Structure 1
Amino acid sequence: MDKTYTPAEIEAPCYNRWQSGGYFAPRADLPADAPNYCIMLPPPNVTGRLHMGHAFQDTLMDVLTRVHRMRGERTLWQPGTDHAGIATQMVVERQLEAEGKTRHDLGREAFIERVWQWKGESGGFISEQMKRLGAACDWSRERFTMDEGLSAAVREVFVRLYDDGLIYRGKRLVNWDPVLHTAVSDLEVMSEEETGHLWHLRYPLTDGSGFLVVATTRPETMLGDTAVAVNPEDERYKHLIGKTITLPLVGREIPIIADDYVDPAFGSGCVKITPAHDFNDYAVGQRHGLPMINVLTVDARIRSCPEIVGADLLAEPLPAHYVGLDRYEARDRIIHDLKQLDLLEKIDDHKLMVPRGDRSGAVIEPMLTDQWFVDLTREQQADGRPGGLAAITRPALDAVRGGSIRFVPENWSNTYYQWLENIQDWCISRQIWWGHRIPAWYDEAGRVFVGRTEAEVRARHGLDATVTLTQDADVLDTWFSSALWPFSTLGWPESTVALQQFYPTSVLVTGFDIIFFWVARMVMMGQYFIGQVPFREVYVHGLVRDRHGQKMSKSKGNVLDPIDLIDGIDLPALVAKRTAGMMQPQKARAIEKDTRQEFPEGIPAYGTDAVRLTFAALATTGRDVRFDLARVEGYRNFCNKLWNASRFVVMQCEGQDTGLGDAPVTLSEADRWVISRLQQVEQEVNQHIDTYRFDLAAQLMYEFTWNEYCDWYLEFAKPQLKQADEAAARGTRRTLLRVLEALLRLWHPFIPFITETIWQRVAPMALPEAERVESILARSFPQSDAGKIDPSALSAVEWLKQVILGVRRIRADMDIAPGKPLEVLVTQATAEEGARFERFAELLQGVGRINRVQILPEGAAVPEAALALVGSLQLHIPLAGLIDKAAELARLQREMGKIEAEMTKARAKLDAPGFAERAPAAVVAQERARLEQFTQALADLQRQKERIERL
């Protein structure tokens, strides 16, 4: 083995071996009744790049995939990407903009061709990055939500739902992006608190008896008001319910209504109701049968004539001097006009949540538009057939309540229930060009016909060539196609072998933020079209945050790129990356300053395994992950420790008899101890993986590898390898190799590259010819064997460790050189412990540097000595001649002086007037804890000083 562990040199060869060897595909050599295991990769956007959330999630999925494959299960990790309708269209439109063109210059067909061209050239970047992370997906089965097979599945689902009465077209209120000119889902709307205003407007009572004051954050929408609402219990306004006001600037007479939605304590207790421009107002309007008046165009400008829905009202033109104005320009002019008419009561500063499109950054406008919807709310359709909640939503609720699907952690099931129990119909249409075009056609009279193709529509409805049909221009919401992902990727609607084998899938690994938008919809669609749940378990992980607990975002400049952690990045490049695209120079300078402080030398190359192990070790159930580079550094050191320990084992065993033949083998107690501990670790690791406690599995293996195998067993092995008894030496070599080989298999799903590389050197010496394979991935995942656990060896070696640790504590306390041989006097030893001292004499000398052990009879005098306790056993180390008394007392005095100075500072801070009251509680507690630590350390040094003075 190379002297130095160099991740960059081993990772690509390992991945090439796995991929070329077909190790990522479901094993074809398994019996027909072998268990099946399947994970669906949540399809990342085709425009995407690997970020920390992807890397975290992909690491956990890869661990599960590799474990189950090594357990002998027919395993599939299904990869693929989402066409990301809005995001992808924006990317290509920006390219056209740089060329001085728009998509309308190209036309729809040419634009779509341009998007496919971009996808072919740049759309697979995230898949390549996943390979850098070690993802063991079956890339031969990679799918794309716009590929031919998945597109056919989308059309099939749309047509069937339409035929079943569960898809309809209607005019409803949706999130509207006035820049992209499309409806967007709630997930594509980011709401953040911003500083705005609350305008208090006077609405005159029609009878001339006064006015009502309404408070609003969006005065421009008053042009579409259809009522003023008050709380029915508000004594101030009860007498006005049923009367009308005359809408200022427009002159429309609108009613005063009573509704519990109104909070009497907000503003004046009177609320303007604009059903076509506010979701809450829309609900009020539905309850009271109010008309909906849309006063905005698709780009959020004032219409010349309002669009009226829900009432037979005359659509009178809006005041001409507002027409064509942007909504904010109209706001300013409306406020000016109201002020001129003395109808502006006051303006207050106001904090409010402002919804913005995550792609365009534009403020989202609730807009009344014609859209396609999936009906998720009706219990029964008009003709008596089951539909809505009974057909789609109810089974999705029952699947979790009945235990067919289990959430991990279980509390996320409550979030799932809450959303489904308060569900609204799903708007599935988008007004863009890139995506699955809605399979609906219109004739010249506006009648709608739905079918898989235009030819099918004509055949189903008897429409000959003389009837002109025009396909709907909208495309489907990307969540519609991704809701089919668990079965469409497996070949549905065909009854493929893959669909039979891997559906339902085993587990979905996902973040909590898309339980609403993706998880529940997959359950609905899976049960409706396949008759089974899409997965048995849903493992919900937390978000990756920075080391301070802040959400990573480009605007905060705290984003880390997992590839940069793997390969390393210098400081100038890191600063440039974090400040790229920053429009505010002051903010860019602040981010640069923070970056230089946190990463003064940039980020070193840690390698993939250290990054993966960090993610796994931080994956506590359901909690957000605080990602700290200090942890990555620590796990990089662990990988180095594993490499060096393995190199030692290889050097000791290469060219030697490692017990593979017929020669006798004797196992020492230390050999039997480490084999026993391995069995215990294997059992617990398997349990932790099965319960998705990746953190506990990683911690357990870390402690066993570093503390027990490397720090203890390798030290025990060194003297054993030198003994004359060849059978015993052979037993130690065999144990060294076989425990290491099992340990590498145990670690492999977590740190695949280093384990594969080391295993290639270890396996030929550790395994008989019949068990040798080409890759560690073809070996089995370790399973505990209770028959290999030796309780007596466990007990004896744990006792031996405590004896050695007791002696080491004395060495540290007395500042005795680690290599100096010591004499140990023992009192209160049992007969069994006396026998152990004899059996372990060689290890006590070689590992503990204990030259001589003398067991004193009961009542024997003990010279002045340092004492350590191991249970009731007492270890005495005579100090005479071991230390320079004067020098040691002087050293202790210096240490005590330093501690006393720190205690004085801590007391002064705690005693300072007002410190305990003004400082944060955590700071005060920390200072008190420091003082307690100093006090304890001083007492320990004082006792040590007194012992030395007695010499």
Structure 2
Amino acid sequence: MEQVKCYRWLENIRDWCISRQLWWGHRIPAWYVTLEADERKELDAYKDHWVVGRSAEEAQAEASSRFPGKKFQMTQDPDVLDTWFSSGLFPLSVLGWPDETDDLKVFYPTSVLETGHDILFFWVARMVMLGINLGGDVPFRKVYLHPMVRDAHGRKMSKSLGNVIDPLEVINGISLEGLHKRLEEGNVDPSELSIAKEGQKKDFPHGIPECGADALRFALVSYTAQSDKINLDIQRVVGYRQWCNKLWNAIRFAMSKLGDGYIPPASVNSNVMPFSCQWILSVLNKAVDKTVSSLEAYEFSDAATAVYSWWQFQLCDVFIEAIKPYFSSSDQSLASARDFARDTLWVCLDTGLRLLHPFMPFVTEELWQRLPHPKDTVRKESIVISEYPSVVQSWTNERVEHDMELIESAVKSLRSLKALLPAKERNESGAGEVYSELILERFSDTSGKRQAFALCRNEEIAEVIQSHELEILTLAGLSSLKILSENDAAPVGCSVDVVNENLSVYLKLKGTINAELEREKLRKKMEETKRQKDSLEKMMDAAGYKEKVKPHIHEENLAKLTKLMQEVLSLEEASQHLERDIAAQAAANDNE
């Protein structure tokens, strides 16, 4: 079927003139033979005087054979081959054709071609035609069409607009003056030069900062989800350059925790490791699986997102932070956990760099070369020829991932409570700065950390929170965490947030509660939760819902609705607690 479609591209088309009168391109390998006895000496006077050859020497031999014993001169055709004729031979010529090379035998036909949709006929169809006729088969089985790159405003790149972006200028950086100079040295019409310069000044007032090849490559890969066009924003590339720096610093920190003389194990058993180590290996498995499956499906943006998310939000933001107590504490009970953390850290760095390598080849090569390698193993000379990661089934642990999801939710709520400081009082006397100092003092104890409470509405949640108190204290920056049940009195003088229907967290404050701030925060969360609940109820009450929706979807919706209803009750309970706390503080102030 695919081959039939390829033929259709070449049916009922005009003859193809493969010569061009240009100053670039492959010179046509044809020579005109002018005999001394010829009456007419001009080029192409006699159609039978042309000879072809791979070289001038081969053409000379052909001419001597065709015109034996005669004196002649040879002139090579001044034309060049059409670009698409030369490039149409690409799949064959790079493998050594027309010689029967080993590469040609092994690698032809290839598997995938990557190109743009605008040259499907000019290049792709010509390669198919030449490949079938000269190589005996189609040159590739699949064609991946990448999006076309435009500027940040979605405009086609044009010299007259001055918005053409040279990849080397993004990689190496260039000043605004340099951009202007490039325009002046080009072939922009003088009447359009000032307009082009204004466009450059507007888009790049300070020029283009040095971003490096890895950042540009990663940005372009991540953009591939954007339909058939890429609106290239240089600031996004700059963001990935900064992420490259963060990646470098994270690995430098990790390497310092491995220590000199560290020898990684040939393999690790996640089942005997601490909780955080089990978790990071389990989510690493998912990142590997998602990346590989996305690459196989040519969903490159999804693959890049999977790798980036694991590195940024799971390894750097959670795991590296969670294991810091293992290295900062002198407690001997943490010695084994420290060793497991080192081994896990090395596995993550080695696997993560190999996973990231196709997207950022240069920084990953440099960092991977610095990693220690297991004893009695032969290390590959380069990361590019090392094995690409695959899923290790024994690392997968859904229970651990479920527990960590709860922990992360609790930590997120506690961090949000820290961030929600009361608004500064602004007045012309400049008291705002003094007030902000008092707020910061009120929200922290002498160590800069806060006390917190976790109200758990069932034993299972309480057990998870209690078991992983160290991770919560570390990630949320707390001084202590006390577990409460529904029978316990809610703590006084706290800011509260509802994590889910079974868990609420309280952050101890110094001083009085900002009643309006706390009321507003709970009100917004209550409104959003009720909105979700009402929307779901409306959908489930709609006519024909039960007939149209599959049973398992209905069950999921019921469970979600139950969860939202319980969360509403939890928020109402938190509001009641807040009002009691405010009333108690007011009474205390009256007594004073």
**Fold match (TM-score > 0.5):** yes
| Contact 2:289–2:390 under 8 Å retained in 1 | yes
2:395 to 788, 799, 809: 788
Q: Which whole-Å CA distance do the structure 2 matches of 1:508 and 1:608 have between them? A: 22
2:367 is matched with 758
* Structure 2: gaps spanning 5 or more residues: 40-44, 54-58, 423-442, 521-574, 586-592
2:524 is matched with none
Residues 1:748 and 1:822: Cα distance change in structure 2 (over 3 Å):
same
In the alignment, structure 1 residue 426 sits paired with structure 2 residue 16: yes
Offset at residue 691 of structure 1 (A): 2.3
Give deviations 1:701-727, integer Å, cap 9, x for gaps.
111111110000011111233352322
Local SS of the residue matching 2:225: coil
In the alignment, structure 1 residue 540 sits paired with structure 2 residue 138: no
Offset at residue 679 of structure 1 (A): 1.0
1:188-207 alignment runs, 5 A limit: none
Q: Provide the TM-score with structure 2 as the length reference.
A: 0.73
Identity of counterpart residues, as a percentage? Answer: 33
Offset at residue 871 of structure 1 (A): 3.5
Local SS of the residue matching 2:111: strand
2:470 to 823, 835, 842: 842
Q: Which whole-Å CA distance do the structure 2 matches of 1:883 and 1:587 have between them? A: 65
1:400 is matched with 3
2:409 to 780, 802, 817: 802
Local SS of the residue matching 1:518: helix
1:188 is matched with none
Q: Which whole-Å CA distance do the structure 1 matches of 2:96 and 2:264 have between them? A: 50
Local SS of the residue matching 1:847: helix
Give deviations 1:657-685, integer Å, cap 9, x for gaps.
56549999951111011001111111111
For 1:559, the aligned partner's letter is: V
Q: Which whole-Å CA distance do the structure 2 matches of 1:627 and 1:662 have between them? A: 42
1:232 is matched with none
Q: Which whole-Å CA distance do the structure 1 matches of 2:348 and 2:269 have between them? A: 19
Q: Which whole-Å CA distance do the structure 1 matches of 2:519 and 2:397 have between them? A: 45
Q: Which whole-Å CA distance do the structure 2 matches of 1:679 and 1:597 have between them? A: 45
Residues 1:432 and 1:813: Cα distance change in structure 2 (over 3 Å):
closer
For 1:710, the aligned partner's letter is: C
2:567 is matched with none
| Contact 1:867–1:874 under 8 Å retained in 2 | no
Residues 1:585 and 1:790: Cα distance change in structure 2 (over 3 Å):
same
Residues 1:514 and 1:441: Cα distance change in structure 2 (over 3 Å):
farther
Residues 1:647 and 1:630: Cα distance change in structure 2 (over 3 Å):
same
| Contact 1:658–1:733 under 8 Å retained in 2 | no
Q: Which whole-Å CA distance do the structure 1 matches of 2:390 and 2:341 have between them? A: 22
In the alignment, structure 1 residue 435 sits paired with structure 2 residue 27: yes
Residues 1:564 and 1:719: Cα distance change in structure 2 (over 3 Å):
same
Q: Which whole-Å CA distance do the structure 2 matches of 1:503 and 1:630 have between them? A: 41
Q: Which whole-Å CA distance do the structure 2 matches of 1:873 and 1:718 have between them? A: 29
Give deviations 1:616-671, integer Å, cap 9, x for gaps.
21123762211111101110111111111111111111137565499999511110
2:510 to 882, 903, 906: 882
2:130 to 525, 530, 533: 525
Local SS of the residue matching 2:154: coil
1:371 is matched with none
Give deviations 1:544-597, integer Å, cap 9, x for gaps.
111011111222211222222222222222222234346655532222233223
Give the count of matched residue pairs: 486
1:823-838 alignment runs, 5 A limit: 823-829=452-458, 831-838=459-466
In the alignment, structure 1 residue 608 sits paired with structure 2 residue 208: no
Q: Which whole-Å CA distance do the structure 1 matches of 2:267 and 2:358 have between them? A: 33
1:107 is matched with none
| Bigger RCO (CA 8 Å, 6+ sep) | 1
Q: Which whole-Å CA distance do the structure 2 matches of 1:720 and 1:792 have between them? A: 23
Q: Which whole-Å CA distance do the structure 2 matches of 1:547 and 1:583 have between them? A: 21
Q: Which whole-Å CA distance do the structure 1 matches of 2:278 and 2:464 have between them? A: 15
| Contact 2:160–2:196 under 8 Å retained in 1 | no
Give deviations 1:18-75, integer Å, cap 9, x for gaps.
xxxxxxxxxxxxxxxxxxxxxxxxxxxxxxxxxxxxxxxxxxxxxxxxxxxxxxxxxx
Q: Which whole-Å CA distance do the structure 2 matches of 1:890 and 1:750 have between them? A: 45
1:732 to 341, 360, 366: 341
Q: Which whole-Å CA distance do the structure 2 matches of 1:507 and 1:491 have between them? A: 19
Local SS of the residue matching 2:105: helix
For 1:674, the aligned partner's letter is: I
Q: Which whole-Å CA distance do the structure 1 matches of 2:76 and 2:170 have between them? A: 47
Q: Which whole-Å CA distance do the structure 2 matches of 1:686 and 1:809 have between them? A: 35
Q: Which whole-Å CA distance do the structure 2 matches of 1:399 and 1:693 have between them? A: 21
* Structure 1: gaps spanning 5 or more residues: 1-397, 402-412, 894-942
| Contact 1:440–1:448 under 8 Å retained in 2 | no
Residues 1:470 and 1:399: Cα distance change in structure 2 (over 3 Å):
farther
Q: Which whole-Å CA distance do the structure 2 matches of 1:525 and 1:640 have between them? A: 46
1:218-367 alignment runs, 5 A limit: none
Offset at residue 728 of structure 1 (A): 1.5
Offset at residue 769 of structure 1 (A): 4.0
For 2:449, the aligned partner's letter is: K
Offset at residue 515 of structure 1 (A): 1.3
Offset at residue 607 of structure 1 (A): 2.0
1:862 is matched with 490
2:307 is matched with 701
2:287 is matched with 681
2:154 to 511, 524, 549: 549
The Cα RMSD (Å) is: 3.5
Larger radius of gyration: 1
Q: Which whole-Å CA distance do the structure 2 matches of 1:424 and 1:662 have between them? A: 63
Offset at residue 860 of structure 1 (A): 4.1
1:812 is matched with 419
Q: Which whole-Å CA distance do the structure 2 matches of 1:467 and 1:701 have between them? A: 70
Residues 1:699 and 1:422: Cα distance change in structure 2 (over 3 Å):
farther
Offset at residue 450 of structure 1 (A): 6.3
For 2:468, the aligned partner's letter is: F
Q: Which whole-Å CA distance do the structure 1 matches of 2:517 and 2:22 have between them? A: 81
Residues 1:622 and 1:510: Cα distance change in structure 2 (over 3 Å):
farther
Give deviations 1:372-418, integer Å, cap 9, x for gaps.
xxxxxxxxxxxxxxxxxxxxxxxxxx6534xxxxxxxxxxx7xx676
Give deviations 1:461-513, integer Å, cap 9, x for gaps.
x7554597987846443322322222133222221112111211222221222
2:570 is matched with none
Q: Which whole-Å CA distance do the structure 1 matches of 2:187 and 2:47 have between them? A: 50
1:406-485 alignment runs, 5 A limit: 419-431=9-21, 435-438=27-30, 446-448=46-48, 452=52, 464-465=68-69, 473=77, 475=79, 476-485=81-90
Q: Which whole-Å CA distance do the structure 2 matches of 1:459 and 1:649 have between them? A: 72
For 2:311, the aligned partner's letter is: T
Local SS of the residue matching 2:114: strand
1:18-417 alignment runs, 5 A limit: 399-401=2-4
1:629 to 234, 241, 257: 234
| Contact 1:744–1:759 under 8 Å retained in 2 | yes
For 2:461, the aligned partner's letter is: E
Local SS of the residue matching 1:424: coil
